[in-house]
Structure 1
């Protein structure tokens, strides 16, 4: 197991390195260059030359990348052009708020999707299954920004139960001091992610219930509750463990849109503002962080295999 984990960690580092290379070189194929994109079409050549000189953009691209990689190893993700502060400071301030939003929505969606998926599998081709399937397809096809607008219209404007805007604050404590403002963003993100989890859980549970050892458990006279929770559920959760790891990029992407809709002061809103203002160091820093989160999620999913299924052993 230890050797496997070490090998997976090395592979993960290689993937992160590849992502950094691709993301870095993509910003250097912008028409007119990074300086022209940031300073605008009216910038003079003298201003562009000064900008390139100040930011080291007049050096060969490979030299710029190795300089960036050296800074990255030392925890320096560059400096935001628009905010005029280190990218690490921006992420240190806003990343915990995004983790709170994305993590809460992910946990809520899983807690709802697992029992609903199992219930649909147990009552396959019945009314509950049809209703759950239709609801899942509806939510799965719903754009995140539209879901946010619908939630605001119903719960904020019509019913006046929760504020339409997310809590505003520079720290996680200030965000948590206004819990009512977190409800609608979390609900929006949870609805989008719930759909895929429930469908996978239903399919996995149906497959598990059709196995021979389920029939053997029934023949032994075990109760339905014991069969579901002691035998079926653990095996049915294996695909869900993979889905959770692979869904992290999608959840972060949906979180980006959700933060913009609700004006939530997190990393997603930072990414949106950086894309609009062409703040490339901040964009690159957020891409790397999300990539690291994705790689870690996949690694945790691999570890979960051995925990959920005793037949899985890594050597």
Structure 2
């Protein structure tokens, strides 16, 4: 299959998944106790207020008509209104999402910068004491809940060793977030720890697999040095499964951001979601779910496209 055809097929699949997500969110909205009107207006709303709201919002029409109206609202960027903050959900998410992306991207980049060379280093030193030690530490980091790891970081590096503040940067703008980079260290470290643990294992396994391939033996027989083989051949081929898994790991990153933001009081979308859950603010909750689901689908699509570009074997296998 040619690259343009593959891209068109993957984009159509991504659009179909997003449509399914909107159907699920629409169903959850109507599955709220007392319906959407009760969830939005609150438990103190009278029957007359609920009836008037249903008529104004078109909630007394057939479900297919309601879904098309809901889809039209989404296409125009309307995710509803928060009844606790009395503000459009799209505006609230638009203000918080960039901060969550900063936290997530920094955690991802730092995690990969540590995990990729660490995994290759373990593969080269396979079954040596240092490999066993790093493997053990990786399993411990992977199995440790994010909130517990964050508490340990706060205890050690904010209380025992007062190197970093225990609270993340505050402020409504990205400039205010970046104005205190020292306060970003602990939240980013908490988010990056699990990435290092997971992706170093993927990189180790991929490197070991490539080291056993015929092209490596041929390069060694031709007199190529081990470092050159690792840098020119093994490194690029070993990145393919890492990139493929990166798109699927996005939900984990956003889920970890929810805990990290609440723990460090970081004013991102995760903290917004947490506050909305505490107040049963269903429009905000479902809006966040929709945005995170769409971001996951887009991330998976980008990972598949990049994987196809960098690895010719994927093209041959799917042709």
Instruction: Say yes or no: TM over 0.5.
Output: yes
Contact 1:79 1:282 in 2 (8 A): yes
Partner of 1:290: 292
Picking from 20, 23, 26, the partner of 1:21 is 23
CA distance in 2, matches of 1:294, 1:36: 30
CA offsets 1:187-210 (integer angstroms, 9 cap, x no match): 000002221111111111111111
Q: 1:91 aligns with which of 76, 93, 117?
A: 93
CA separation in 2, counterparts of 1:51 and 1:161?
53
Deviations 1:129-152 (A, max 9, x none): 101110110011111111111111
Aligned to 2:310: 308
Which of 210, 213, 216 is equivalent to 1:214? 216
2:234 corresponds to which residue? Answer: 232
1:248 aligns with 2:216: no
- Tell me the CA shift for residue 41 of structure 1: 5.0
Q: How far apart, CA to CA, are the structure 2 residues paired with 1:78 and 1:35?
A: 12
Question: Equivalent residue for 2:204?
Answer: 202
- Give the TM-score taking structure 2 as reference length: 0.93
Alignment of 1:107-186 (within 5 A): 107-186=109-188
Gap regions ≥5 residues in structure 1: none
Map 1:14-93 onto structure 2 (within 5 A). 14-37=16-39, 43-53=45-55, 55-93=57-95
Tell which deviates more after alignment, 210-219 or 97-106.
210-219
What is the distance in 2 between the residues matched to 1:47 and 1:227?
A: 72
How far did residue 50 of structure 1 move? 4.6
SS in 2 for 1:165: coil
Superimposed CA distance per residue, residues 135-180 of structure 1 (whole angstroms, 9 cap, x where no aligned partner): 1100111111111111111111110111101111011111111111
The residue that corresponds to 1:188 in the other structure is 190
Distance 1:227 1:17 in 2: 45
Unaligned runs of 5+ in 2: none
User: 303-312 or 3-12: which moved more?
Assistant: 303-312
Tell me if the contact between 1:38 and 1:277 (Cα under 8 Å) persists in the aligned partners: no
In structure 2, how many angstroms separate the alpha carbons of the residues matched to 1:279 and 1:59?
A: 24
CA RMSD of aligned residues (A): 1.8
Distance in 2 (CA, whole Å) between partners of 1:196 and 1:90 is 32
Question: 1:312 is paired with a residue of what secondary structure?
Answer: helix
Normalising by structure 1, report the TM-score: 0.94
Distance 1:84 1:121 in 2: 54
How far the C-alpha of 1:212 sits from its partner, in A, is: 1.2
Deviation at 1:10, TM superposition (A): 1.3
> 1:43 deviation in Å?
4.9
Listed one character per residue, the Cα deviations across residues 85-114 of structure 1 (whole Å, up to 9, x for unaligned) are: 122211221111111000000000000000
Is residue 106 from structure 1 mapped to residue 120 from structure 2 by the alignment? no
Q: Is the 8 A contact 1:38 1:278 kept in 2?
A: no
